[in-house]
Structure 1
Amino acid sequence: MSQFEITKKNKVVRGAKRATYDEQKIYDILDAGFLCHVAFNINNQPFMIPTAYGRRGDLLYIHGSVKSRTIKNIAKGVPVCLAVTHLDGLVLARSAFHHSVNYRSVIIYGTAVEVTERSDKNDALYCITENILKGRWEETRKPNDKELDITGVLAIKIESASAKVRMGGPVDDQEDYDLDIWAGHLPLNTCFGKPVSDEKLKNGIEISPSVEKKLC
Structure 2
Amino acid sequence: MSTTTPAAYRPTDRTVPTRSRERATYDREAVHSVLDAGYVCHLGFVRDGRPVVLPTLYARVGEQLYVHGSTGSRPLRTTGRHEDTGLPVCLTVTHVDGLVLARSAFHHSINYRSAVVHGDAYPVTDPGERTRALDAIVDHVLPGRSADSRRANAKELAKTAVIRLAIEEVSVKARTGGPNDEPEDLELPYWTGVVPVAPAYGAPVPADDLAPGIETPGYLPAG
Q: TM-score, normalised by structure 2?
A: 0.91
- The counterpart of 2:8, out of the listed 3, 7, 17, is 3
2:140 is matched with: 131
- Distance in 2 (alpha carbons) for counterparts of 1:78 and 1:123: 22
How many corresponding residue pairs? Answer: 214
What pairs up with 1:27-42 in 2 under 5 angstroms?
27-42=32-47
Which of the residues 15, 20, 24 maps onto 2:20? 15
Structure 2 residue aligned with 1:65 = 70
Question: How far apart, in 1, do the equivalents of 2:17 and 2:38 lie?
Answer: 22
Q: CA deviation at 1:114?
A: 1.3
Residue aligned with 1:54, SS = strand
Aligned structure 1 segments of 4 or more residues deviating by more than 6 angstroms:
none
What is the aligned partner in structure 2 of residue 215 from structure 1?
222
- SS across alignment from 1:181: coil
Q: Paired residue for 2:155, among 120, 143, 146? A: 146
* Structure 2 unmatched runs, 5+: 1-5
Instruction: Indicate the larger mover: 178-187 or 85-94.
Output: 178-187
Deviation at 1:98, TM superposition (A): 0.6
Shift of the alpha carbon at 1:159?
A: 2.9
Query: For structure 1, which runs of at least 5 residues remain unmatched after alignment?
Result: none
**Separation in 2, partners of 1:50, 1:11:** 24
- Under a length normalisation based on structure 1, what TM-score does the superposition of the two structures give? 0.94
Distance 2:62 2:215 in 1: 35
1:41-190 paired onto structure 2 within 5 Å: 41-75=46-80, 76=82, 77-190=86-199
Query: Equivalents in 2 of 1:200, 1:96: separation in Å?
Result: 51
Offset, 1:16: 1.1
Contact kept? 1:95, 1:176, Cα under 8 Å? yes
Equivalent-residue separation in structure 2 for 1:119 and 1:194 (angstroms): 35
User: Which deviations, in whole Å up to 9, do the C-alpha atoms of 1:91-132 show, x marking residues without a partner?
Assistant: 011111111000000110011121112221110011111111
SS of 1:120's partner is: helix
Cα distance in 2 between the residues matched to 1:60 and 1:106 = 12
Amino acid at match of 1:87: V
The letter of the residue matching 2:127 is: R
Provide, for residues 132-182 of structure 1, a one-character-per-residue CA deviation record: whole Å limited to 9, x for no partner.
101111111111222222210111112301111111111100111112222
Partner SS for 1:210:
coil
Give the superposition deviation at 1:2.
2.4
Supply the distance in 2 between the matched residues of 1:97 and 1:8 (Cα, whole angstroms): 29
* Deviates most, 91-100 or 200-209: 200-209
Q: Percent identity?
A: 43
Q: Which residue of 1 aligns with 2:3?
A: none
What is the Cα-based RMSD across aligned positions, in Å? 1.3
Task: Compute the displacement of 1:204 (Å).
Answer: 2.1
The letter of the residue matching 1:215 is A
Q: Secondary structure at the match of 2:56?
A: strand
